[in-house]
Amino acid sequence: MNTGSSFSDLAIYLVGTNSFMDAVVEEFDLVTRYKIEKPDKKARSPRTDSRKVLKKKLIASYEEKSGVFSISFTDIDAAFAQKVVNFCMHYLEGWFNELGIDKNKLERENLERNIENTFQEIQNLEQESQKLGVSVTDGRTIPSIALEQRRIALELGAQQQVYTQLKVQYELLKVTMASEKPVFQVLEMAEIPDRKSGPSRGVICAIVTFAAWFLAVFLAFVLNAITNIKRDPEAIAKLRGAS
């Protein structure tokens, strides 16, 4: 996700806050999943331990050259890890919106709401005007209807002007936003990896080979020591005397 270079530190800080981690823990019930027990009977909840576990598995990083902030989560279940990362991205995006950091985005949302409300008001006035037109053809009191039609026409014209101005502002804002780097933008959703992140097969093979070699050497020393003891009558006598 692209958070802009000036807000990368804020994003990393938010990921490390207790409120963020508690939200992830509660969303996916990590206490049950990782079998985090209460430290003692007096403790209300194992929040501290769950946060420690999450900190080891959830990593936030920022690449200065590209300006990209990324989140990764480690778990034996790749699909579960994907869900956690996507949740974290959406949670952060909502948090940035609540903080009101991206002024252009807030202005765009306000303009969209005002445009929708104004358009709805125009439709309502047009419907009222049509109803009054039907009343005139039915032979009802014309003077009062004429006044009402004039009022509606004036209000309709004013609303149409407001709508036009809002649309102009909206289009200008779109041009401005296209030329500026957004404060927070999700570039790519997390995908289920087709390969595990670690440990690599080569590392596992190296560890197993080293362990087998060490065990073989140890057994060789033990067997050699036993053989030497059997060949040494004095050593055997000492062992029998000690027993």
Residue 185 belongs to some domain of the structure: no
Same domain, 48 and 77: yes
Q: Which pLDDT value is given to residue 237?
A: 66
Q: What is the pLDDT of residue 81?
A: 92
What is the rounded distance in angstroms from the CA atom of residue 128 to the CA atom of residue 124?
A: 6
Distance between CA atoms of residues 111 and 117, nearest Å: 10
Instruction: Find the Cα–Cα–Cα–Cα dihedral 95, 101, 102, 108, rounded to 10°.
Output: 80
Instruction: Tell me whether residue 191 is in a domain.
Output: no
Q: State whether 128 and 92 are in the same domain.
A: no
Answer yes or no: is 194 within a domain. Answer: no
- Same domain (yes/no): 60, 77: yes
CA distances from 29 to 36, 56, 76, 215 (A): 10, 16, 16, 41
Does one domain contain both 91 and 14?
Answer: yes
* Percentage of residues in the chain having pLDDT higher than 90: 28
Q: What single-letter amino acid sits at 70?
A: S
Q: What is the pLDDT of residue 20?
A: 94
Reported as a pLDDT band with limits 50, 70 and 90, residue 138 is low
Stretch 118-141: mean pLDDT, rounded?
Answer: 77
Predicted local distance difference test score (pLDDT) of residue 145 = 75
Percent of the chain with pLDDT over 70: 76
Tell me: the pLDDT tens digits for 140-188? 556 677 788 888 889 999 999 999 999 999 999 888 877 777 667 777 7
Predicted confidence at residue 183, as pLDDT, reads 66
Residue 31: domain span: 5-99
In this prediction, residue 117 has a pLDDT band, given cuts at 50, 70 and 90, of very high
At residue 99 the predicted structure's pLDDT band, cuts being 50, 70 and 90, is confident
Identify the burial level of 12 via C-beta atoms within 10 angstroms of its C-beta, where 0-12 means exposed, 13-18 middle and 19 or more buried. Answer: middle
Q: Which residues of 171-186 are buried (b: 16+ CB within 10 A; e: fewer)?
A: eeeeeeeeeeebbbee
Higher pLDDT, 152 or 106: 152
Q: Are 82 and 144 in the same domain?
A: no
| Neighbouring residues of 159: CB distance < 8 A, sequence distance ≥ 6 | 118, 121, 122, 125
Q: What is the mean pLDDT of residues 199-221?
A: 70
Is the per-residue pLDDT at 134 higher than 70?
Answer: no
Q: Which residue has the higher pLDDT, 126 or 233?
A: 126
Helix (H, G, I), strand (E, B) or coil at 154: helix
Domains held by the chain: number: 3
**Is residue 50, in this structure, part of any structural domain at all?**
yes
Are 18 and 45 in the same domain? Answer: yes
Among 43, 71, 39, 70, smallest CA distance to 52 is for 39
Reading the block at residue 210, the tokens are 């080293």
Do 61 and 89 belong to one domain? yes
Lowest-confidence range among 12-26, 93-107, 187-201? 187-201
Pairwise CA distance, residues 89 & 146, whole Å: 57
Hunting for tokens 């207790």 — which residue is that? 18
Asked if omega into 199 is within 30° of 0 (cis), the reply is yes
Of 111, 105, 106, 109, the closest CA to residue 180 belongs to 105
